[in-house]
Amino acid sequence: MKMHIIQEKWSDILNMIKIEHDVSDVSFNAWLEPLEVYKVEGNVVTIIVTNGSMALDYINKKYLLPLKVSIAETIGQDFEISLVLPEDIKEEFKEPPTAAPVSLNENIEKANLNPRYTFDTFVVGNNNKMAHAASLAVAESPGEAYNPLFIYGGVGLGKTHLMHSIAHFVLQKNPSAKVLYVTSEYFTNELIDSIRNGNNTTMSKFREKYRNIDVLLIDDIQFIIGKESTQEEFFHTFNALHGAKKQIVISSDKPPKDMEILEDRLRSRFEWGLIVDISSPDYETRMAILRKKEELDGYKIDDEVIEYIAKNVKSNIRELEGSLNKIMAYANLEKSEINLALAEKVLKDIISPNQKRIITPELIIEVVAEHFDLQPSDLTGNKRNAKIVFPRQIVMYLCRSMTEVTLKNIGKVLGGRDHTTIMNGIDKIEAELNGSNAAPTQEIIDILKKKINPSK
Ligand SMILES: Nc1ncnc2c1ncn2[C@@H]1O[C@H](COP(=O)(O)OP(=O)(O)OP(=O)(O)O)[C@@H](O)[C@H]1O
């Protein structure tokens, strides 16, 4: 069964409540974590409170509004919420969500494509002109124009939107085309499952699925870095499809040449076709994107509010859209007028950090500590157990690679360590990243870099 977008984004929705309402871990684990989306019908989301009637009562009082707001902000649409207990549900409880691969085979309806991610809704600006043109060319002539098409750019800048647009376009022209959109993470997990099952049938099913496609779109390819058997399998998939003149579209957060520890044979293949980038949108494009969204959602919003968002939310289109969703959600729920004062109030948390996100060792320490469930003082202190030493070395490495701060000053911030200690720490992480089992450390570094600087 296909998951509803609310189910897909459920953990984001809960995490937004955690952040915006400053919910402690204890409360989060007690009240929010146990909530599960049972179904979404019309504009009603049925949520199962798995931990009993007292919890249901309390959540009704305390978390109903935050849930509504968070859903509206994330999805861009208002929903009513119905809380139920497991025993209230007659049908089989808890259908396991199929984190379905996005199989678009015969028909667009069944395909797990976002219906809104089409060329029609994509605003073309200076930041994405080339990527848009290349995507359209590929959609019009799959396997002929540029193969592979490699689209790269920072978080939330429209790579997935363009990939879905290609898929929609191809399917519209030829509904029986075999189009498959997956994230590289999904590809990896499916491969691992096939290998784990350990028999030839599952492996050959996997291969048949991926090699018998007209257009394969694989998102966020950077996540296969360091995963040897995934790279190996993807290499063969790539060759089979490319050899048969089938279209491959790949997205990544960086160009192939900057994808360290990507196998050379894959890197060179990624460079066979066309490489295009998407950068951050300029002011005019941001305005146009907001206007487009206003039009699609049927909103009517004052220029000054739109201008305020476009001026202040610069680096990430997801955040740009999220800001508008958030204002609309608040205005709806509080039945208030949409004006600049409301926008400033609602966006205060988004806009200030966006303006002053300067990367400092202190910020890095804070993010790394939070990631590893430690206190910043653990990292700057003297304890030497493994639980702390590794994160501390990660801090050293990230300070070195993400700031201009000298080794001496990194040492100072890290509790007065001398520069050779910092150098040793950096060497340690670099050795891991260059070693045979680099993937787990690389993954941690990638995640932390995104947390420290989401706009990169
Ligand atoms: N040019 C554009 N016109 C209209 N909407 C856009 C445009 N670019 C991005 N968006 C919207 O911004 C949001 C984020 O885009 P998308 O998910 O495609 O980003 P991404 O580059 O794939 O991000 P990530 O790196 O997180 O995977 C989407 O809702 C998308 O529709």
Q: Which numbered atom of ligand 1 lies nearest the CA of 219?
A: 27
**In the structure encoding, which two tokens stand for residue 360, read together?**
């400092």
> Counting every residue, how long is the chain?
456
In the reported structure, the alpha carbon of residue 373 is separated from the centroid of ligand 1 by a whole-number distance in angstroms of: 31
Which parts of 63-215 fold into alpha helices (H)?
64-75, 129-140, 159-173, 184-197, 200-211
Q: Which one-letter DSSP state was computed for residue 32?
A: I
Cβ distance 119 to 136 under 8 Å? yes
pTM: 0.61
Residue list for the binding site for ATP: 156, 158-160
Whether the bond into 148 is cis, omega within 30 of 0: yes
Q: Which numbered atom of ligand 1 lies nearest the CA of 154?
A: 25
Q: Which residues line ligand 1 (CB under 6 A)?
A: 117, 121-123, 128, 153, 155-161, 220, 289, 292, 317-318, 321
Helix (H) or strand (E) holding 252: strand 247-252
Q: Whose CA is nearest to atom 29 of ligand 1?
A: 318
Region class of 56: left (phi > 0), else alpha (psi between -120 and 50), else beta: alpha
ipTM of the complex: 0.98
Taking only the tens place, the pLDDT of each residue in 243-287 is 999 999 999 998 988 887 777 888 888 889 999 999 999 999 999
In the reported structure, the alpha carbon of residue 436 is separated from the centroid of ligand 1 by a whole-number distance in angstroms of: 35
Q: Which numbered atom of ligand 1 lies nearest the CA of 281?
A: 1
**In the structure encoding, which two tokens stand for residue 51, read together?**
């931990």
Sheet order of strands, 274-278 included: 102-103, 179-183, 215-219, 247-252, 149-153, 274-278
Ranges of the chain with pLDDT below 70: 1-2, 90-112, 198, 352-357, 454-456
Taking only the tens place, the pLDDT of each residue in 384-404 is 888 899 999 999 999 999 998
Domains and CATH numbers, the chain: 1-88 (3.30.300.180), 112-278 (3.40.50.300), 283-352 (1.10.8.60), 361-452 (1.10.1750.10)
Mutation probe of ligand 1 site: the residue of 161, 220, 249, 252 with most atoms within 8 A of C-beta: 161
Residue 101, SS3 per DSSP: coil
Residue closest to 233 by CA, chosen among 273, 202, 271: 202
Cβ neighbors of 96 (< 8 A, separation 6 or more) are: none
